[in-house]
Structure 1
Amino acid sequence: MGGPMVRPPGFGFRMLLERTDDETLRRLISPSARELLAAIEPGILSGDRLRQFIRESRTSRDYLADPVAREVLIGALPHQKAVELCSSLGIANYPDPYLALRQATIRAGSRAEELLLTFFGASGERAERHAGNHVAQAAAQYPLFPHQRTAARKVRSGLENPPRRLVLHMPTGGGKTRTTMNVIAEHLREHEPTVVLWLAYSGELLEQAASEFVKAWSSLGNREVDICRFWGNTLDDPLRIRDGIVVAGLGKLHAWSRRHQNGLPTIADRTTLTVMDEAHQAIAATYADMLDVLATKRRDAKLLGLTATPGRTWSDIIEDVRLADFFGKKKVGLEIEGFDNPVTYLIESGYLARPTFRTLNVRPGFELSEEDLDSLVTDADISPEILSRLAGDQARNLKIIAEAELLLRNHRRVILFTATVGQAELMAAVLKARGYQAEAVTGATREYERRSILQRYVSAAPAAMAICNFGVLTTGFDAPGTSAALIARPTRSLVLFSQMVGRAIRGPLAGGNDKAEVVTVIDPQLPGFGDVAEAFGNWEDVWQRQ
């Protein structure tokens, strides 16, 4: 006759969810997600659907690494298992094992954390640290299409002649960044040692530039060079770079130059090529003097502006003439024989999908203050504070979810661009609860998770899938199969807007689709953008082609 049944050590995460009541489990879901889901489908967060939603929203490892979620889960353990976990962690369980576990210090990466994960059967979910720049993993080839090679040759030639300034004007999807990286690589090969300085306003565009350079140089480079990421909260020192590239935020570099009196002249002494993304910002009062120092300190210094449309404004011809004058009225664009508009050529040749543009008009449930309205006039882009309030507006989110579901019914791969990290996670969670495949990809997403998500996204699996994206426009997020984009991240940056549009309009020759759909959420109080082809064709009269 068998002896008493001995239960195995530990307590599986799925088993824990099954024995925990709905009310307790709902505490694992953010209040904003609970409210939005309740507004869409009352009762959705209960029973099996609730447990499935929790399992699919985050890994068990993520829940256990979160102190708040961990406390909820530990409180649901049977008493005997709470005592067992105390024993595993080597902490006293008297008089209350639950209290002892709540008060225990469990640091990320520690032995205690690994024991905790093992106890719940989550140790197999590998927690990979952010890998940084893996140059060895970058692509071995970095080719250009013929129209891009022609543009690159004209840029190199134009920068050799005074005033050694010009603008590269290529439409969304034309390969402006890739073309420029070829120019930079050749410049670095021909000048050793030297510094290339890449300037932009937004973190998304700066991260894209840094990542794209790593990919390009791994194929086109002839030596090891340094890269300095100088924006946001980074602590890197641009003065350490004597041979390589500095990718810098305009605001951060300007503020740094005011604190370090000799800093900017020192950088200018070493820099032979400055690249200004969003070239229209070059004549802003805050930055024009700084750029003049960079472009004139050395006789051989070159200044290259990048833009998807060569004007600074939508209506002020005087400002547009000032911008043209700043770059010596020199512009390199896509000149295709037989085509008046290069966008038409790119579409008809299969480089771009034929896009359909729609707008989704949404008035948020709040009014902008006078201070907010002033910031829209003075700031280079919409402030994080306004973006955060938009991201938390339930009425706006309900319309975005409805539109996302419509796109998912008509497209196999959809990208939703959100205003904040939290909104990306919220949108993905709600879409999952509604029965769709959806994941959030943000700058905070761990590298191995991002790879796993993108492998699913770029696969040939027929089920529709959405990626909810904030702040990730790098080559590591290349997904040419995307045929629809929902842009719920308002911006004044035409370059940033164009980059978002560009994720959905890859043509067949670029591994994409014949047609694409782009839906832009328009907030009546905020600026919006129209058709990319129309925007590209403006301001031609103040420039001279090279």
Structure 2
Amino acid sequence: VAAGADLTERLLRAVGGNVTALHAALGDAACRALPADGPPTQVAALTLDLLGPAVLQDSNVSEAMKDADLRPPSRWGTDEARAFVAALGFPETFAQSQSRRLDAELWVSGPLPLPPLHPEYQVEVFDALTGLIAMGSGRRRAVVSLPTGGGKTRIAVEAAVELVLKPEGARRTVLWVAQTNELCEQAVQSFRQVWQNLGAQGETLRVIRFWGRHGNPTASAGTAPTVVVASIQTLNSRFDAPALAWLATPGLVVVDECHHAITPSYTSLLRWLDAEAPRPGAPPKDEPAVIGLSATPFRMDDEESLRLAKRFDQRQYPLDQEGLTDRLLAGGFLACPDYQALATDATVSPGLLNDLDNLWDSQDGGRFDGVLERVNQELATNDARNERLIETLQASDARQILFFTNSVPHAQEMAARLCLLGIPAAAVSGDTPATARRWFLDRFKSGELRVLCNHSVLTTGFDAPRTDLVLIARQVKSPVSYMQMVGRGLRGQRNGGTETCTILTVLDNLGRFREHPFHYCRSLYTRR
């Protein structure tokens, strides 16, 4: 077990030896991995491994500490909390509030040296964006489509800096829109890096975090370069705020993971930006350039895919998509995927299989997704299948493993079993407290954790370039969903990743490639 012996003993003392409280903190799924006669130290160590710096703030642990005549702080992330944690002998990180928000704004100075864009393909995309933005007014839209690991974010950020934020002008504002907090923060850090290297001499870039509970940002003074990185959910809930009127006229809009861009929330965004399709005969609007980013710029329905393509004027960069993945693989920009199948005899109840078959070609996506979720939950409790997954991970010589599990409890149980076998692992999900989640992700990236078990949350916006095994146990139908999971391991050596990555898909998982996505979306995007 990865937890240190000293912390294990300290946790036991803090809860007055109340193992029942630790079991409650772990939850039923993780407790299934514990042997019935395991010692209290084993339970405490596993609790530390799976809850990380959130352990002392768990309600069950907190109540046990009170029963042991300790006085947990009324608020975490305070001097009182730091003193309490220090008195227990825990690191200061255990005192951080688990709901702590990142600062609303980031101020970045520059520049410093930065490796140039790859001339083999990234420069071509940058030049195409230069021409698009230089058109000056009217409708200017395109999708940047590169395989995951190809550097779409880096190109878009550099284009935003060089073409919009750095030059003198009246519209030195970029609005970057994403689906998840992870994607948002990835963009913030990319702007930090690029501005520090390529920013305007003597000027400071204002980068605003605008998601979750962050307040409405105010306009910058004068023409100061400003980036607002926002979640689509937060934008949709705040469009009516008069204080945001200044943000509706940016110089550039970037839509990350733009295959979502035909949903009502993005239609509302375009309406707010006054960038809807003009009426016949109406003069062109002075709308911002709109750039979409996606490794999979299509939908599963042909009609929806065409709507998506038209939303970006059926313009896609790089222009030559045919054989693009092969070229990036040959150049070492992408890791070479080694697709393997893990055969199991696992199945689900006949009634559930029947529901799945009946809805397979149905247009009722909501009902199908509900059935698929039930399938995943049933597979998650299949003991023989779980034993096969654990044995496979034990036998693997991979250094960093990203494990897409069937459910949140499944992630917790698998991480617990691995920890008990001496394999450093953790589980993250949408339920994991924010500070603990970042702590686990950082430990995985640094190599302190070998296996990161997750359910859905790391399909996009997560960068762990040294991942050399992606294990996909989750049942999916959509090639888009499958490709997003696969893509987490495809960053090549010339992009800071690995030479090869094993993609191990459980045979009872239906998310398998039927056709390369290039062939699916080739007819949707005309070359320009």
TM-score by length of 2: 0.73
Query: What 5-or-longer segments of structure 2 have no aligned partner?
Result: 1-7, 277-284
Residue of structure 1 equivalent to 2:421: 434
The equivalent position to 1:150 in structure 2, one of 124, 135, 138, is: 124
Q: Is the 8 A contact 2:335 2:493 kept in 1?
A: yes
Amino acid paired to 1:308: A
Residue of structure 2 equivalent to 1:176: 152
Q: Output the CA distance in 2 between the equivalents of 1:58 and 1:296.
A: 45
Higher relative contact order (CA 8 A, sep 6+): 2
Q: Is the 8 A contact 1:424 1:440 kept in 2?
A: yes
Deviation at 1:414, TM superposition (A): 0.4
Residue of structure 2 equivalent to 1:141: 114
Residue of structure 2 equivalent to 1:530: 513
Residue of structure 1 equivalent to 2:447: 457
Deviation at 1:392, TM superposition (A): 9.3
Q: Is the 8 A contact 2:31 2:413 kept in 1?
A: no
Residue of structure 1 equivalent to 2:451: 466
Q: Is the 8 A contact 1:428 1:438 kept in 2?
A: yes
Counterpart check, 1:33 vs 2:30: yes
Amino acid paired to 2:261: A
Deviation at 1:34, TM superposition (A): 0.9
Question: For 1:117-153, what per-residue CA distance to the aligned partner results, in whole angstroms no more than 9, with x for missing partners?
Answer: 4443336666457664776699863632221111111
Question: For 1:276-331, what per-residue CA distance to the aligned partner results, in whole angstroms no more than 9, with x for missing partners?
Answer: 233343334553364255264852521212222333x3352x44333333322322
Which has the larger displacement, 124-133 or 181-190? 124-133
User: For 1:283, what is the secondary structure of its paired residue?
Assistant: coil
Question: For 1:227-250, what per-residue CA distance to the aligned partner results, in whole angstroms no more than 9, with x for missing partners?
Answer: 34334x323315646752233333
Residue of structure 2 equivalent to 1:122: 90
Which has the larger displacement, 412-421 or 168-177? 412-421
Q: Write out aligned runs for 1:63-212 (5 A).
A: 63-72=55-64, 98=68, 101=69, 106-109=74-77, 113-114=81-82, 116-122=84-90, 127=95, 132=103, 141=114, 143-146=116-119, 147-161=121-135, 163-186=139-162, 187-190=164-167, 191-212=169-190
User: For 1:429, what is the secondary structure of its paired residue?
Assistant: helix
Deviation at 1:422, TM superposition (A): 6.5
User: For 1:545, what is the secondary structure of its paired residue?
Assistant: coil
Residue of structure 2 equivalent to 1:516: 501
Q: Is the 8 A contact 1:417 1:469 kept in 2?
A: yes
Counterpart check, 1:314 vs 2:300: yes
Q: Output the CA distance in 1 between the equivalents of 2:171 and 2:23.
A: 58
Question: For 1:7-36, what per-residue CA distance to the aligned partner results, in whole angstroms no more than 9, with x for missing partners?
Answer: xxxx9617749994866764553222112x
**Superposed CA RMSD:** 4.7
Larger Rg: 1
Q: Write out aligned runs for 1:124-523 (5 A).
A: 127=95, 132=103, 141=114, 143-146=116-119, 147-161=121-135, 163-186=139-162, 187-190=164-167, 191-222=169-200, 223-231=203-211, 233-237=212-216, 240=219, 243-257=225-239, 259-260=240-241, 267-268=247-248, 270-284=249-263, 287-288=266-267, 290-291=269-270, 294=273, 296=275, 299=286, 301-311=288-298, 313-316=299-302, 318-333=303-318, 335=320, 340-358=322-340, 377=364, 394-395=380-381, 399=385, 402-403=388-389, 405-410=391-396, 411-417=398-404, 424-440=411-427, 444-446=434-436, 449-450=439-440, 453-454=443-444, 456-457=446-447, 465-469=450-454, 471=457, 478-487=463-472, 498-520=483-505
Amino acid paired to 1:169: S
Deviation at 1:397, TM superposition (A): 8.5
User: For 2:114, what is the secondary structure of its paired residue?
Assistant: coil
Question: For 1:509-541, what per-residue CA distance to the aligned partner results, in whole angstroms no more than 9, with x for missing partners?
Answer: 2343332122356887xx84527x811332212
Deviation at 1:226, TM superposition (A): 3.1
Q: Is the 8 A contact 1:64 1:70 kept in 2?
A: yes
Q: Output the CA distance in 1 between the equivalents of 2:392 and 2:314.
A: 45
Question: For 1:376-433, what per-residue CA distance to the aligned partner results, in whole angstroms no more than 9, with x for missing partners?
Answer: 9567x979x9979957974168746742551452212101245777765554233101
Change (3 A) 1:24 1:288: closer
Q: Is the 8 A contact 2:339 2:502 kept in 1?
A: yes
Q: Output the CA distance in 1 between the equivalents of 2:198 and 2:387.
A: 43
Q: Output the CA distance in 1 between the equivalents of 2:410 and 2:218.
A: 37
Deviation at 1:342, TM superposition (A): 0.9
Change (3 A) 1:16 1:487: same
Which has the larger displacement, 513-522 or 418-427? 418-427
Which has the larger displacement, 464-473 or 499-508? 464-473
Q: Output the CA distance in 2 between the equivalents of 1:306 and 1:494.
A: 17
Residue of structure 2 equivalent to 1:85: none
Amino acid paired to 2:26: I
Residue of structure 1 equivalent to 2:279: none
Q: Is the 8 A contact 1:295 1:301 kept in 2?
A: no
Q: Is the 8 A contact 2:107 2:204 kept in 1?
A: no
Change (3 A) 1:293 1:279: same
Residue of structure 2 equivalent to 1:83: none
User: For 1:544, what is the secondary structure of its paired residue?
Assistant: coil
Amino acid paired to 2:116: P
Change (3 A) 1:435 1:237: same
Q: Is the 8 A contact 1:28 1:72 kept in 2?
A: no
TM-score by length of 1: 0.71
Deviation at 1:206, TM superposition (A): 3.2
Q: Output the CA distance in 2 between the equivalents of 1:490 and 1:478.
A: 23
Amino acid paired to 2:232: L
Change (3 A) 1:176 1:521: farther
Q: Is the 8 A contact 1:480 1:504 kept in 2?
A: yes
Q: Is the 8 A contact 1:392 1:423 kept in 2?
A: no
Amino acid paired to 1:168: V
Q: Output the CA distance in 1 between the equivalents of 2:107 and 2:9.
A: 39
Q: Output the CA distance in 2 between the equivalents of 1:353 and 1:124.
A: 38
User: For 2:149, what is the secondary structure of its paired residue?
Assistant: coil
Residue of structure 2 equivalent to 1:6: none
User: For 2:434, what is the secondary structure of its paired residue?
Assistant: coil
User: For 1:537, what is the secondary structure of its paired residue?
Assistant: helix
Change (3 A) 1:68 1:149: same
